[in-house]
Amino acid sequence: MEGSIFRERLSKARERKGWSIDETATRVAANLIINRASYYDAELCEGELTGCCSLNHILGICKLLDVHPRDLFCDRKPAATSISEVVARIKAHCNEKKISIGEFEEIAGWQVESCLTNPTNALEEWNIDCLVDVCRELNIDWR
């Protein structure tokens, strides 16, 4: 399963730094990224990295571990799509399909409205699972 691969890549990034999981959890918490228990869960529990860590949390962890998020989640280097572009595509999709944002949220399974006026809200409010589902509805690669 993909989640296992992502967690394995996270562990390997940590190991490349020469840090134990406990040391990394302490550093992550000290940098106010996520708390210690959440880091343990992200590395050890299925679904936690993609379902519980916001995109900003993942960016912070990756920065601390000197790894690009793409290296955790991608086998190849995909074309980059900014969060602003994803939000713009949500608006265009709703316009094209003549559906409301509420209907889009219902279909995608996630709330996105707060990101429409400020796309950077998505970095704090969305996790990988949300990004995957939103991008699936938009027919774009989430990576």
38-52 confidence digits (pLDDT tens): 999 999 999 899 999
Residue 18 has pLDDT above 90, yes or no: yes
Mean pLDDT (the chain, rounded):
93
Total tally of structural domains belonging to the chain: 2
73-118 confidence digits (pLDDT tens): 988 776 778 999 999 999 999 999 999 999 999 999 999 999 999 9
102 shares its domain with 64: no
Which domain does 87 fall in, by range? 83-138
Give the long-range contacts of residues 29-37, CB within 8 A, separation 24 or more. 31/60, 31/64, 33/57, 33/60, 33/61, 33/64, 34/60, 34/61
Question: For position 131, which CATH number holds?
Answer: 1.10.260
Question: For position 26, which CATH number holds?
Answer: 1.10.260.40
pTM for this model (two decimals): 0.90
